[in-house]
Amino acid sequence: MSNLIFNFNSIKTKKLKYPKNILGGKGANLAEMGRLGYPVPSGFTISTKVCELFYQNKKNLNNKIKKNINIEIKKIENEIGKKFGDLQNPLLLSVRSGARVSMPGMMDTILNLGLNDQTVKALANITKNKRFAYDSYRRFIQMYSNVVLNIENYKFEELIENYKLTKGVLLDTDLDENDWEGLIRDFKNVVNLEKKMEFPQDVNVQLIGAISAVFLSWESNRAKTYRKINHIPSDWGTAVNVQSMVFGNMGKNCATGVVFSRDPANGNKEIYGEYLINAQGEDVVAGTRTPQYITKKSRKKSKLNELSLEETMPKIFRQLKKILFSLEKYYKDMQDVEFTVENNKLWILQTRSGKRTAKSAIKIAVDMVNEKLISKKDALLRIDPNSLDNLLHPSLDEKSSFEVLAQGLPASPGAASGKVVFSSEEAERLNSIMQDSILVRIETSPEDINGMHAAKAILTSRGGMTSHAAVVARGMGRPCVSGSSEIEIDYEKKIFKIKNKSIKEGETITIDGSTGRVIFGEVKTIKPEISGDFLKVMKWADKFRKLKIRTNSETPNDTKTAREFGAEGIGLCRTEHMFFDEDRILSVREMILSKSKADRDKALSKLLPYQKNDFIKIFTIMKGLPVTVRLLDPPLHEFLPKSKEEILSVSKSLNLTSEEVEQRIQELHEQNPMLGHRGCRLAISFPEIYEMQCRAIFEALVNCKKNKVNSILPEIMIPLVSTEAEIKIMKDLVIKIAKQVESESKIKLKFLVGTMIELPRAALKAKDIAKHAEFFSFGTNDLTQTTFGISRDDSAKFLNDYIENKIFDIDPFVSIDDGVGSLIEIASEKGRKQNNKIKLGICGEHGGDPKSISFCSKTGLHYVSCSPYRVPVARLAAAQAEIKK
Ligand code: PEP
Ligand code: MG
């Protein structure tokens, strides 16, 4: 059983041997804290390996494991002098999940396990606190029934709410032992009615049920969704931590809370946290009672009257602060600690690296370098590149006028506008039709995770900075305002009221998660910029990385943004995207639909000045840096006219009848346009198209030179090449036009000709292709599509099933698959063999994905190219890849 179950104590004397992949994050840190002598309640961790065995054994724990669990329980009994199921002094347990990385609120927890109709009496006796004992028992029945027996929680909550109404009280804390005793009877009836069984009284049955349920929660829908969003592999599994209970709900000398060693929202070096007197852990995060602050300073800042822990329990506060700082120093990272105070004794239930906003991640990393706690390399590794996306969120334009409806807590930064929705389903529906929504809930629960992902921002009327809504929104990078207690939400009527105003579902509001403001209507936002600590981190990243970062851009605006974000050139300018404008599309349609070369030339001559002017603008913005211009590569169907008016308009310009145009559309119809007449195949049939484009590029170059805009480095890229002959013909075409423009302008032109590698054949025959190409750019969107034979346009319909069935861990269109990766390696090697100066880059969507960037770095590519807003992400990811080598 050596790597299946670990007692916190057995690891005490040894240097920690078992990493997080076996003990889970929570288990590893509990063991480590135990070893270092922190006040951790006794317990043990059932490893992630058991999770694997559990699923292999048809979702059952085998007898050997059950036996070992009993042995571990005995050890706890000996350590603390209580007995599991005892009628004098019963041991109660908590059973919690603990995956390798923390997945807040996504899996299950059961507290107060070991209570039944008999042990509850013993607990009441020994603590001389009947109210506490019965309150704990009803909590246990509620949690166990929900988690293990799958009875919906509202069935119990409703009973409590109705009972409070009859009794005429508001708070759960107003209910006494007799009230809870009565409610327990009702709770057990619910179990009986729903499951046709008695609530389990055997504590061993309870324990095995709870452990199994935690393992099962690894495969719950919410955990699966969370894993998908955060790219967590499904085969990691979870560990389970079984610990003796300590109680924060025994009375006024008891409390429970969460505390961070630095402020998770802004990174300031100040303790930040929340707690509740006379409560159990879940009360703080569930948002059912609004918690109080830990420090006097934050209490005063928020103008709350309820006293902080610093004021109510000053001694505990000092002790907690000391532990918090020493844990931070030990782990060299900002810590998020859960604690409980039982009759004036402090217990630490968990420590982990605190989730933080991108802004605070950067501040903390820079501060810790200044404090000499970590190195610059460590600092760079601490920041999740994907999270930088959030810093690039727009913020409110404070100069515009707007009406602030309400104020809440600034739980997750960024500003967003959208239509009010009250359910996750509605948020998902609007998202599917490309409409922005703001999810408005009294509080969120793990069931809301899909809706939170689909919405642009989240607003809750209850809950603090560590509520579910706040933690999950921060993790997802969604702006969130939590605990906006002035708003009154009515789910039935689908409205929320604030002061005298009522806001209906579908009306637009704006959320400012950086200040906590809730605003009526849409507000203008402003573009972010890289400055301060962010700029510092980017500069550090630039020092470490070897990969160059380029951008995919075809408009002057995007090109400017990308350059401001640090792009070192354009890796892909999709020229077909330059034709989408209304005034150009007609000429493109004429070009595509024309039957004769003469008609086509006419249409092309109309497009030439547009192309040329666009290139002049883009070259000027990117001067001094390379610009890869890809010649036309549209699946033609994207450009064909569809509506009657569109067809009429093309037929007029082409002097054809509508019927003739429709007939031509029929002729051009392709069963499989993605594999059809696109890319260089188009230019094999109609070379005049690429000739016009090359002329536009070269004339733009001449124009720039004449205007003293020098150091323009165009790289002309041929798409969808699969054979040596194709690239040879295309290269000759490019050179022919270059010569023409050189002789017309008397200016010598400098440029490169290269190709995309986006078809498996091109990758396999890269040596031949490299004879005619000065660079390769891997088009991993098409390369993934053609390697798998999975249409990139239709894959979304079934890829989920592939992820569910563990065929794919991650969508291969998001992160480079290793089969596609092999083709890239083969092509790079063959390309280099033919031409050791060949430039290698990637321009598919993968160019902005940190995992794929790491692969590109290992494969020795020279650059990655991504969308403008991913450039800072790629700069950091490229540095991390280099540091990790
Ligand atoms: C690619 O296929 O990866 C690529 C960048 O080209 P496009 O997405 O335009 O087909
Ligand atoms: Mg492509």
User: What are the distances in angstroms from CA 47 to CA 44, 167, 236, 531, 730?
Assistant: 9, 46, 11, 44, 59
Atom of ligand 1 nearest to the CA of 846: 3
What tens digit of pLDDT does each residue of 729-745 get?
A: 999 999 999 999 999 99
- High-pLDDT (> 70) share of the chain, %: 97
The yes-or-no verdict on residue 295 having pLDDT over 70 is yes
Instruction: Name the residue at shortest CA distance from atom 8 of ligand 1.
Output: 781
Q: How far is the CA of 643 from the centre of ligand 1 (A)?
A: 27
Atom of ligand 1 nearest to the CA of 785: 2
The yes-or-no verdict on residue 588 having pLDDT over 70 is yes
Q: How far is the CA of 178 from the centre of ligand 2 (A)?
A: 71
Q: Mean per-residue pLDDT for 821-848?
A: 97
Lowest-confidence region among 230-244, 279-293, 529-543, 580-594: 279-293
- Distance (Å, whole) CA 787 – CA 765: 15
Give the residue, out of 756, 782, 863, with the most ligand 1 atoms within 8 A of its beta carbon, to mutate for a pocket test: 782
36/506: higher pLDDT = 506
Q: How far is the CA of 62 from the centre of ligand 2 (A)?
A: 51
Give the residue, out of 629, 843, 864, with the most ligand 1 atoms within 8 A of its beta carbon, to mutate for a pocket test: 843
**C-alpha triplet 406, 412, 418: angle, nearest 5°:** 60
Q: How far is the CA of 475 from the centre of ligand 1 (A)?
A: 30
- Distance (Å, whole) CA 881 – CA 380: 10
Kindly report the length of the chain: 885
Q: Can you read off the two tokens belonging to residue 529?
A: 């910029």
- Distance (Å, whole) CA 620 – CA 825: 34
Atom of ligand 1 nearest to the CA of 779: 3
What tens digit of pLDDT does each residue of 53-69 get?
A: 999 999 999 999 999 99
pLDDT score at 288: 63
Q: How far is the CA of 735 from the centre of ligand 1 (A)?
A: 24
pLDDT score at 713: 92
Q: Can you read off the two tokens belonging to residue 877?
A: 């990811």
Lowest-confidence region among 192-196, 469-473, 485-489, 495-499: 469-473
- Distance (Å, whole) CA 135 – CA 183: 10
pLDDT score at 11: 56
What tens digit of pLDDT does each residue of 618-653 get?
A: 999 999 999 999 999 987 767 788 888 888 988 888
What tens digit of pLDDT does each residue of 105-131 get?
A: 778 889 999 999 999 999 999 999 999
Alpha carbons within 13 A on the beta-carbon side of 503: 25
- Distance (Å, whole) CA 816 – CA 781: 9
Q: How far is the CA of 868 from the centre of ligand 1 (A)?
A: 16
What tens digit of pLDDT does each residue of 315-332 get?
A: 999 999 999 999 999 999
pLDDT score at 769: 98
Instruction: Name the residue at shortest CA distance from atom 4 of ligand 1.
Output: 779
Q: Which ligand is closest in space to the CA of residue 867? A: 1
What tens digit of pLDDT does each residue of 857-867 get?
A: 999 999 999 98
Give the residue, out of 550, 551, 572, 580, with the most ligand 1 atoms within 8 A of its beta carbon, to mutate for a pocket test: 572
Q: How confident is the model at residue 1 (pLDDT cuts 50, 70, 90)?
A: very low
The H-assigned helical ranges of 173-313 are: 177-195, 203-217, 221-229, 281-286, 296-301, 309-312
- High-pLDDT (> 90) share of the chain, %: 67
Q: Mean per-residue pLDDT for 216-239?
A: 88
339 beta partners? 257, 348
- Distance (Å, whole) CA 567 – CA 571: 10
Instruction: Name the residue at shortest CA distance from atom 10 of ligand 1.
Output: 782
Q: How far is the CA of 781 from the centre of ligand 1 (A)?
A: 5
Q: How far is the CA of 704 from the centre of ligand 2 (A)?
A: 29
What tens digit of pLDDT does each residue of 239-272 get?
A: 999 999 999 988 899 999 999 999 988 899 999 9
User: What are the distances in angstroms from CA 502 to CA 423, 488, 667?
Assistant: 18, 9, 56
CA 158 from centroid of its chain's CA atoms? 34
Average pLDDT taken over every residue of the chain: 91
pLDDT score at 475: 63
Q: Mean per-residue pLDDT for 373-384?
A: 95
Atom of ligand 1 nearest to the CA of 552: 5
Q: Mean per-residue pLDDT for 83-89?
A: 95
What tens digit of pLDDT does each residue of 399-409 get?
A: 888 989 998 88
Q: How far is the CA of 845 from the centre of ligand 1 (A)?
A: 8
Q: How confident is the model at residue 14 (pLDDT cuts 50, 70, 90)?
A: low
Give the residue, out of 721, 756, 865, with the most ligand 1 atoms within 8 A of its beta carbon, to mutate for a pocket test: 756
Atom of ligand 1 nearest to the CA of 844: 3
Tell me the three state secondary structure of residue 327: helix
| Per-residue buried b or exposed e for 12-44, using 16+ beta carbons within 10 Å of the residue's own CB | eeeeeebebbbbbbbbbbbbbbbbeebebbbbb
Residues 458, 469 contacting (CB under 8 angstroms): yes
Handedness of CA 715, 718, 721, 724 (dihedral sign): negative
Of the candidates 549, 547, 539, the one whose C-alpha atom is nearest the C-alpha of residue 854 is 547
Instruction: Name the residue at shortest CA distance from atom 9 of ligand 1.
Output: 574
Q: How far apart, in Å, do the first and last CA atoms of the chain sit?
A: 35
Q: Which positions are catalytic?
A: 468, 843
Atom of ligand 1 nearest to the CA of 778: 3
Q: Which ligand is closest in space to the CA of residue 843? A: 1
110 beta partners? 95
Residues with C-beta less than 6 Å from any ligand 1 atom: 572, 574, 633, 758, 779-782, 843-844
Atom of ligand 1 nearest to the CA of 576: 9
Atom of ligand 1 nearest to the CA of 758: 2
Q: Mean per-residue pLDDT for 498-509?
A: 93
Q: Mean per-residue pLDDT for 189-210?
A: 96
Antiparallel, parallel or unpaired: β 495-498 and 501-504: antiparallel
Rg (CA), the chain: 32
Atom of ligand 1 nearest to the CA of 782: 2
Q: How far is the CA of 506 from the centre of ligand 2 (A)?
A: 38
Instruction: Name the residue at shortest CA distance from atom 6 of ligand 1.
Output: 779
User: What is the per-residue DSSP string for 384-433?
Assistant: -GGGHHHHTS-EE-TTS--EEEEE-EEEE--EEEEEEESSHHHHHHHHHT
Give the residue, out of 552, 574, 861, with the most ligand 1 atoms within 8 A of its beta carbon, to mutate for a pocket test: 574
Q: Mean per-residue pLDDT for 787-793?
A: 89
pLDDT score at 75: 94
Instruction: Name the residue at shortest CA distance from atom 1 of ligand 1.
Output: 779
CA 739 from centroid of its chain's CA atoms? 50
Residues 181, 173 contacting (CB under 8 angstroms): no
Q: How far is the CA of 546 from the centre of ligand 2 (A)?
A: 26
